[in-house]
Each structure stands twice: as structure tokens, then as C-alpha cells.
Amino acid sequence: MDEVTTTPLAIPFTQQFAADLPELALPWQAAETPDPQLLLLNDALAAELDLDPEALRGLDGVGLLAGTTVPPSASPVAQAYSGHQFGGYSPRLGDGRALLIGELTDRDGQLRDLHLKGSGPTPFSRGGDGFAAVGPMLREHVISEAMHALGIPTTRALGVVATGRPVRRETVLPGAVLARVASSHLRVGTFQYAASTGDLELVRRLADHAIERHHPEAASSEHPYRALLDAVAAAQAELVARWMLVGFVHGVMNTDNMTISGETIDYGPCAFMETYDPATVYSSIDTGGRYAYGNQPLVAQWNLARFAETLLPLLDDDSDRAVSMAEESLGVFRTTYSDTYAAGLAAKLGLPADDAAHALGEELLTLLHASHVDWTTGFRALGAAARGDAEPLRGLFLDLPGIDDWLSRWRALDPDPALLDRTNPVYVPRNHLVEEALDAATAGDLDPVQRLLEVVLHPFDERPGLERYATPAPQDFGRYITYCGT
Ligand code: AMP
Ligand code: MG
């Protein structure tokens, strides 16, 4: 392996994960980068982390983002985890092309992981090359930052560095590393890995680490592990409800891609739904529709059950009692999901969350589906309709009597136009625009990616001149297909 240089970068990394859980942390280092070039840097996130953006743009800074420059306080590790992939269990996944550099304490005093994706092969690489291409890493940067701007918990993107290394996919593509920031990289799959070792004390240490980092209130509960399970159930239920409300399709909700923190992670084959249809699937490998838009709440619950299984021995010595506690936590998921979704859907109608809003929301979904309406455009048009101009909304529907009847009952409830405008985004990273921008970037032109990023960072502020960013894909874009592991 190539030597990494040490640097005077005075960044105070900690190694809490590696210190608490050495069994899950394999010391490793990044591959060299023949010609590192910084493609994107997130100045605002750097500031949150107390990192100097100018220093990150320098030689050592770019080296830090690519993994080749390791500050004295850092000691990178590849993390071990397992996972159910499309329902089938893989006992050993882990960071096959990623490294945890260490944790930073942000300006709010919270611990945040700096993690690199595409940093080279590790002992977890299995058949993979350990690398990533420029297009998919820019894609994760743009979509994760768009999600953050939409108010959805997510891992963040600090920057993307092109490595100068060609990577072989269907064609040869330019390689890149994404520097990702998360409140941790603990996954359901991390617990599955720990449980599979048969070492209950390891599971207990992992659960204690998760409580300390994500759900500290659980520590003072009468039953901390049950409180952890409930807190994770609630966090994941809220997350998936928020995905549903913006039309986000994650695409690969394997248990290794579900975090304990409740942050969205791993933007592989994800996409924003355009025409509303619960059966929407984009991923090339999801032929059965397991991770279709409308299945996401059920899948999250299935994944949560896998998490609960790993905690059973910590819940109660009596296995029947442990199982019934776990079942109650699944109940927490269901009620949190329906409450969050109902409140969110009411807000999307500009209404307080009550039975009338709930009924109108369900009816609108039926109308949107029947008329093949674009999810984002359809909801956004409600703002103008509440202000008296219903024509943009009516123009989206085939069933005019249906939408007119709905509109008259909705207007009678006096929807709040300001609430509508701050709840229904005008700009999401639309699939055709993302593809166009990534194609340009792969060919060396970063302008379209930068412009798209600027647009989606302010999703609720409608701005003149940006109409094409608020318009669904043209017919000739065809059916959109996304690919995993790219
Ligand atoms: P993902 O689908 O990105 O969540 O990845 C699932 C698993 O495959 C993880 O263990 C990854 O580390 C691994 N993986 C994905 N792509 C690669 C690659 N190019 N080289 C090595 N491992 C990979
Ligand atoms: Mg993953």
C-alpha cells in the first residue's frame, strides 16, 4: 500500500467509535490519488464543523478529503457490518470502498463522522474494486444536500475530489471520492454484525455507544435498551414519512442502508418521483418492486424488526417477554409513521392536521394518481390555488369535475398560502436534470452541477428564470432507471 503523508492540519479528530468498538473497526488507509482535483466543496458545512474552507482547498485539505493526508489526530478505519440485501442476509458487508477518518465535534457540540466513499479497496471489498466514479459521487453530493435543504435528516456532503484514477464500469470513468459527514455510520447492519458474533457484551457496548451518540435520553430510562429501540423506531418512522411527503424513493433500503440515527444514507439508485404512482421503482435491480415508493414504510418496519431481533437478549432474559417488547416498539413505528405522515400531508394542503384534512389528503392522492400528475408540481400549485388562481393546478388534471369538487371543499377550510409555500418545494433534483448535469461533469464541465446545486439548496424560494428546474422531464426522457454500486 502507498504511504500516506502526515500533515500539520490541526484538526481535532476523535476515535470514539474505534475506541469503543475495536471489533468493528479495522485500521486501514486510502489508496493514493494520481491527480487529485477538488470538484465541489460545501463551505457552509465546513463552517458547521469548524473547518477552514480555504485550508480544505489547499493541498493538505484536498488530501484530507481524498484520504491520502491523515492528520495526526486521525486514524482511519473500515467499519464492519452485515445486512439483509433485498431480503437475503449477507453476514459480512462492511466498508468495501469507504473509510471512517474519525469524528469531529461540530459547533453545536455534536459528534459528526467524517467518512470517505470511493477511497480504495479494503478487506471488505469482496469482488469490488473499492473505487467510485465522479458521476455517482456528485450525485450523492447534490441529492443529499437537496434533502438537507428540504429539512429531511440525512448524511451530508462536505466535498467531492476527482482522483485522476480511471475506474472500470461498463466504460472507463473518472474516479472520485466523496467526503461524507454523518451523525454516525451506525446501521441496522452494524447491530446484525455484532449480534452474529454471538458476543452479547459486544452488542451491549454497541447499544451503549448508540444511546450515547443518538438517543442519550434512553440512558436514564428505566429500561435503556427498550428505550433505544423505541427511539430508533420513532426516528426511522419520521424519516420515512418525510421521504414519502417529498416523493423520495430511496431505492435500496437494505438493512445496511438504514441508520440508527434516523438519517438518510447511501444515495445509490434513489430518485425523486415525478408522476405520482405508489408502484414507482427506478432501480435496475429492483425487479420485484420491493423498494417501490409505496412500500417504503413497510420495508422500514421490516428492517426495524431485524434491528429488534439483535436487541432481544438485552431486552429481557425471558425470550417471550423480549419478543412482546419488540412488538410494542413496532407499534411505536406505526403510530409515529401515521402521525408524522398525517401532519405532513395536512401541512402540504395548508391545513391543520385533523380528520377533514386527512380525508382531503387521501382524496387528493387518488386524483393525482388517476390523472398521472407530477408529485412536486401538483402540490406546489396549491399555493396559487389558495390565493385564488386555480388554473395552474386544474391544468394538471384530466378529471376536471373531480378536482373542482375537491377544490371547493378544500377552499372552504381556508388553507394557509404561506404554509403551502414553505411546505411544498418548487425545486427538487429532478432526474433528467441530475443526469444532464452528471453527464456534463463526467465530460469535464462542472457548471451544470453547480447550478443545479444552487437551485436545490433553496427548494421553497421560487425564482424567475429557473422554470426548467421546476418542470417534469420531457416525454422523450423516457422511463428513468438508476443503478446501484456505481
Ligand atoms: P451499497 O449498495 O453502496 O450500500 O453497498 C453495499 C456493499 O457493497 C457495501 O459493503 C459496500 O462497501 C460494497 N461496495 C459497493 N460498491 C463497491 C465497490 N466498488 N468496491 C467494493 N465494495 C463495494
Ligand atoms: Mg450501503
Does 462 sit in the ligand 1 pocket, CB within 6 Å?
no
Does 252 sit in the ligand 1 pocket, CB within 6 Å?
yes
CA 476 to chain CA centroid, Å, is 29
Please give the DSSP secondary-structure letter assigned to residue 218.
G
Please give the DSSP secondary-structure letter assigned to residue 426.
S
Predicted pLDDT of residue 392: 98
Cβ partners under 8 Å of residue 454, min gap 6: none
What is the grid cell recorded at 163? 482522483
Closest-CA residue, ligand 1 atom 1, reads 485
Note the maximum CA span of the chain: 70
**Around ion ligand 2, which residues have CB less than 5 A away?**
257, 266
> What is the arithmetic mean of pLDDT over 317-332?
97
Predicted pLDDT of residue 6: 44
Given a cut of 70, whether residue 8 has pLDDT beyond it is no
pLDDT (tens digit per residue) in 358-409: 999 999 999 999 999 999 999 999 999 999 999 999 999 999 999 999 999 9
Predicted pLDDT of residue 9: 80
Q: Measure 299 CA to ligand 1 centroid, in angstroms.
A: 21
Q: What value does the CA radius of gyration of the chain take, rounded to a whole number of Å?
A: 23
Would the pTM count as exceeding 0.85?
yes
Contact 67, 5 (CB under 8 A): no
Given a cut of 60, whether residue 3 has pLDDT beyond it is no
- Dist. CA 128–CA 475, nearest whole Å: 36
Say if residue 143 is exposed, middle or buried (CB neighbours under 10 Å; 0-12, 13-18, 19+).
buried
What is the grid cell recorded at 222? 428505566
Cβ partners under 8 Å of residue 382, min gap 6: 348, 349, 350, 393, 415, 420, 424
Q: Which ligand is nearest to the CA of 169?
A: 1
Predicted pLDDT of residue 111: 98
Q: Which ligand is nearest to the CA of 98?
A: 1
Say if residue 78 is exposed, middle or buried (CB neighbours under 10 Å; 0-12, 13-18, 19+).
buried
Does 95 sit in the ligand 1 pocket, CB within 6 Å?
yes
- Dist. CA 166–CA 171, nearest whole Å: 10
Predicted pLDDT of residue 475: 87
The single residue listed with the C-alpha cell 420515512 is 240
* Phi, psi of 446, deg, nearest 5: -90, -10
Does 257 sit in the ligand 1 pocket, CB within 6 Å?
yes
What is the grid cell recorded at 23? 471489533
Local confidence band at 486 (pLDDT 50, 70, 90 cut-offs): low
**What atom in ligand 1 is closest to the CA of residue 268?**
3
- Dist. CA 469–CA 419, nearest whole Å: 22
- Dist. CA 435–CA 139, nearest whole Å: 9
CA quadruple 139, 145, 150, 151: dihedral, nearest 10 = 140
Cβ partners under 8 Å of residue 3, min gap 6: none
Predicted pLDDT of residue 287: 93
Given a cut of 60, whether residue 7 has pLDDT beyond it is no
The single residue listed with the C-alpha cell 438508476 is 482
- Dist. CA 143–CA 243, nearest whole Å: 13
Local confidence band at 485 (pLDDT 50, 70, 90 cut-offs): low
Q: Measure 335 CA to ligand 2 centroid, in angstroms.
A: 27
What is the grid cell recorded at 246? 417529498
Say if residue 255 is exposed, middle or buried (CB neighbours under 10 Å; 0-12, 13-18, 19+).
buried
Contact 105, 111 (CB under 8 A): yes
Given a cut of 70, whether residue 53 has pLDDT beyond it is yes
Q: Measure 140 CA to ligand 1 centroid, in angstroms.
A: 14
Mutate which of 97, 155, 188, 257 for ligand 1? The one with the most ligand atoms within 8 Å of its CB, which is 97
> What is the arithmetic mean of pLDDT over 294-322?
98
* Phi, psi of 358, deg, nearest 5: -60, -50
**What atom in ligand 1 is closest to the CA of residue 98?**
12
Catalogue the active-site residues: 256
What is the grid cell recorded at 139? 450525485
Local confidence band at 476 (pLDDT 50, 70, 90 cut-offs): confident
pLDDT (tens digit per residue) in 157-166: 999 999 999 9
pLDDT over 70, % of the chain: 98
CA distances, 237 to each of 257, 298, 372 (Å): 15, 10, 27
